Each structure stands twice: as structure tokens, then as C-alpha cells.
Amino acid sequence: MKKFAISLFVGLLAAALVCVGGFIKTSERISGDVLRLHVLANSDSRKDQELKLKVRDAVLEEGKNIFGGEINVGNAREKISSEKDRLIKTARDVISQNGFDYDVDIFVKKEFFDTRSYGDLTLPAGTYTAVKVEIGEATGHNWWCIMFPPLCLPAAQEKTDVNLYLDKQEVKVVKSDPDYDVRFKVVEWYEKIREYFRKE
């Protein structure tokens, strides 16, 4: 009886690892298919935080224009990198129009993100390519979302169908509820360990 119980436990554990392993692999594909937006305000003052949101809106709107026409996840990062100066000008115009003289810089870089929900979609933890917007001293609270596919407002005034950009397994993950799916926490632990060793 004891051997049977041990065998059953080992079998269930192996099945669980296979299940989570598949979830991890799908999560890694998602991080490769999504372009994040990360905006840092000059400071935490009310005016700087309000300005951050105006810059966010303008960058998202310009991003929608950049991504207009035929585009896919394969060339989204390349296109946004080549249009970086255009995004910087858009952000500087908004800053100037609102009476500030802050400088702004924009980077396209790899960044680690924790699990994060956006409405009814959840992106698992992982290292994503991000468009990072730094306003002035960039010491204020930040704001992040999904730039491509265009799922953030105002770029997504018409609801974007994620099925056009992600495969069936990826869609199943991003539409899962992280509060009831422990695999998101497992992925977060796994990715944090990977990030730790990547920095060493």
C-alpha cells in the first residue's frame, strides 16, 4: 500500500511538472511576442504624475500610427527602434506644451516584469522587450502596459483581438485568472531565479 501511495505521488508530481513546464514554455513565448511600454515620471508630484499620463497617451497614439498597416510581432520591435526619434519628439512636444522643460529619453531594452493584469488579460512574469520612456530625473512612480499588440488606451479604442497576435496556447495563458492559477506564481519564481543568475 505504501509503495502504491509513493508511486501515485511520484506520478502526480511528474504530471504536475509536465503541466507547469508547458506553461513556462508558453509564458516564455509570450514574452517574446509582446512589446511593453514603461514610462517613468520626473517625480511623484501631482503635476509630474499628470504629465506622465499625457506623455503616455501621446506615445501610445504615435505608436499606433507607427504600427499602422501591415505589421507583425516579428518586425514590431525593429520598427519601433527605427522610429525612436519620432517618439522622443512626440514626448518632448507634450512636455513643452504643458509648460515643462524636462528632457526625455526613450530606450528599447530588455526588462524584467512581474506578473501583471491589464483588464481581463494577464501577462506572466518574464523578461520582455520594452519601450522605456524616462521623463526628466525619472525618479517618480512608473506606469507600464502593452504597446504591441495595441492593448492599452488610447491606442486601443477599438478592442484588439489578441487572437490575431498570439497563438491558441498563449491566448489561453493571458486569459487565465492569476488569482486561481498557481502556475503564474511558479513562473514568477522561475523567472526571478533566472533573472538573478542573469545579473550575476
Task: Say if strands 126-135 and 35-40 run parallel, antiparallel, or are unpaired.
Answer: parallel
Given this model, what pLDDT does residue 166 score? 86
Task: Tell me the HSE value of 145 on the side-chain side, using a 13 A CA sphere.
Answer: 18
Radius of gyration for the chain, computed over Cα atoms and rounded to the nearest angstrom? 20
Residue 68 has pLDDT above 60, yes or no: yes
Q: Which residues of 164-193 are buried (b: 16+ CB within 10 A; e: fewer)?
A: ebbeeebbebbebebeeeebbebbbebbee
144 against 92, higher pLDDT = 92
Given this model, what pLDDT does residue 155 score? 47
Q: What is the pLDDT of residues 95-121, one digit of tens each?
A: 999 999 999 999 888 889 999 888 788
